[in-house]
Amino acid sequence: LESGNEEKAKQSAKKLESEWDDDKMILSVFVNHGLLDEISESLARMSSMTSTKELAHFNSEYSVIRVKIHQIKAENGFDVSAFY
């Protein structure tokens, strides 16, 4: 999220959250549900933080999501890049 792109960030966050909901169903067969829930919670928080004054929090949640997705990859030995 960059200053001046709040609307685009909001749309992107909502799209990512929607795509995640679909992919989470598939991943839930293979991956720890707690980890998937943490990603879902971060996505929900991120979607609500698309104003300039919350830029740092938005970027922080995005970083958390990236780390969790890499954790899925490391713990399960498969490539999640097909999803993200």
Confidence band of 80 (pLDDT split at 50, 70, 90): low
Q: pTM for this structure?
A: 0.74
Q: Cα separation of 81 and 69, whole Å?
A: 9
Cβ 39 vs Cβ 19: under 8 Å:
no
Per-residue pLDDT for 55 more than 70?
yes
Q: Which residue has the higher pLDDT, 6 or 32?
A: 32
Tokens representing 3? 């200053």
Tokens representing 34? 């707690």
Per-residue pLDDT for 70 more than 90?
no
pLDDT of residue 13: 82
Q: Cα separation of 78 and 54, whole Å?
A: 34
Cβ 76 vs Cβ 30: under 8 Å:
yes
pLDDT tens profile 16-51? 888 888 888 888 888 889 999 999 999 888 878 766
